[in-house]
Amino acid sequence: MTLTSRILLAMVLGVFVGSVLNIITNMTWVAEGRIIWAIDILVDDILDAVGLVFISLLKLLVVPLVFVSLVCGVTALGDNARMGAIASKTLVMYLFTTALAISVAILMALLIQPGVGADFVSAASYSATQAPPLKQVFVDIFPSNPIRAMAEGKMLQVIVFALLVGYSITLAGNAGKRTTAIFRDFEHVIMKMVEVLMTLAPYGVFCLLAKLFSELGFEAILELGKYFLTVVFVLFLHAFGIYALLLRTLTGLSPKLLFAKMRHVWAFAFSTASSGATIPITLRAVEKRLGVNNSVASFTVPLGATINMDGTAIMQGVATVFIAQVYNIPLGPGELITVVLTATLASVGTAAVPGVGLITLAMVLQQVGLPVEGIALIIGVDRILDMLRTAVNVTGDATVAVIVANNEGALDKNIFLDPDADVLTEAIEEPVEDS
Ligand code: ASP
């Protein structure tokens, strides 16, 4: 079995075992008997511990990988004028796809009307955290202390610092050449580390999902069925319809191949619900399986994980319409446009960790005068939606990376077209000697 198949199998098994545990623990004879004690140890200690270790191992890779890889990317560009072109194309694509995602989400929610006629208790309470002012958001992109930025995992600051280091290396003549060589070697080592950690993925993914599903009650999904299904429908439509269309029309490449090569990345995104923690896996897949040159991938992937959240925007679009319908507050065209604009910005400001999309939703609701307490209505199903939307978020990053690379002549089509490119089979491959 390839590693991807093992990870996907682990995902299915994790959901299954977790759901069975959930059913068992809710049976009265179990809840009152002694067996519950054993289940608690299994879930709260063993599964939880392995899952947490797995997430930590993934996260530990993020900052060194992004930093080293981006420095290498900038130095590889040589002609620094390209950096500006890559950056602006990437930004435009990210904002465009997010605005498109939320527009489709709003349209579908208006058609399906998930919040009309349902009997929801509006005794919901949710207190919003205050969103920082726009000026602060801008100032915060620039680090005053790169070590603190890395320690706190502030990805935009790390990206700015890496761009600066890479750019300075290209100006530094022979010293720059020597430094580049060191960075390249280090990048090779870190990529190997990604490989090592990926072999642990089946166990990590299994434990994360088994623990989560053993705790999730499924009643909430039934109650909020229409809202849940509307979000899921638009997520699928966006991933398999809009990305496919964009890729096909802008590059002529096969979306089917891209999706096939993203399967294991989805498993990581789904089980961690964090685009940030998935960066190492996305980056590796985008470079080695999809053929995007490091100079483009190292910039687009970490930036996308941080600011491009189409899946999150979709949830926010549907949620806003849903809450307006539940509270019977009509939204006019002006308000809908405001939702598109604020949700696009909210997606930029959403941190790439679980559940933050729900927090930034408060900002969108406030902007159009909807009650923020409405968020409490949808919290019950948000975790599963979070997992699904994170998978869409990373798919968006990869698709844009391929489109920009193709446009910049930085896409190796032989790699893209090779279905077996970088398929990880068993354990770690033989060490590769560089020429
Ligand atoms: N979990 C999402 C991500 O990491 C963000 C969110 O929607 O909460 O991409």
Residue pair 370/342 in contact by the 8 Å Cβ criterion: no
Segment 69-93 shows an average pLDDT of 85
Using one digit for the tens of pLDDT, what is the confidence trace for 376-401? 889 888 999 999 999 999 999 999 99
Q: How far apart are CA 329 and CA 311, in angstroms?
A: 25
Task: Quote the ligand 1 centre to 36 CA distance (angstroms).
Answer: 33
Among 192-201, 228-237, 395-404, where is mean pLDDT lowest? 192-201
Q: Does residue 89 surpass a pLDDT of 50?
A: yes
Task: Quote the ligand 1 centre to 388 CA distance (angstroms).
Answer: 9
Q: Which pLDDT score is estimated for 435?
A: 47
Segment 88-93 shows an average pLDDT of 94
**What band does 425 get if pLDDT is binned at 50, 70 and 90?**
low
Q: Which pLDDT score is estimated for 325?
A: 92
Task: Quote the ligand 1 centre to 286 CA distance (angstroms).
Answer: 20
pTM, rounded to two decimals? 0.87
Residue pair 334/98 in contact by the 8 Å Cβ criterion: no
**What band does 129 get if pLDDT is binned at 50, 70 and 90?**
low
Beta-carbon contacts of 397 under 8 Å, excluding residues fewer than 6 positions away, are: 275, 282, 286, 300, 301, 304, 305, 308
Where does residue 38 rank: exposed (0-12), middle (13-18), buried (19+ CB within 10 A)?
A: exposed
Who has greater pLDDT, 195 or 312? 312
Pocket of ligand 1 (CB under 6 A): 273-276, 309, 312, 350, 352-357, 386, 389-390, 393
Task: Quote the ligand 1 centre to 37 CA distance (angstroms).
Answer: 33
Using one digit for the tens of pLDDT, what is the confidence trace for 6-43? 999 999 999 999 999 988 888 877 667 778 888 888 99
Q: How far apart are CA 295 and CA 285, in angstroms?
A: 14
CATH topology (fold) of 3-429: Proton glutamate symport protein (1.10.3860)
DSSP β-bridge partners for residue 284 = none
Segment 108-130 shows an average pLDDT of 72
Atom of ligand 1 nearest to the CA of 355: 8
Q: Which pLDDT score is estimated for 137?
A: 73
Pocket test for ligand 1, best of 212, 265, 348, 353 (most atoms within 8 A of CB): 353
Q: Which pLDDT score is estimated for 195?
A: 87
Q: Does residue 125 surpass a pLDDT of 70?
A: no
Residue type, position 39, single letter: I
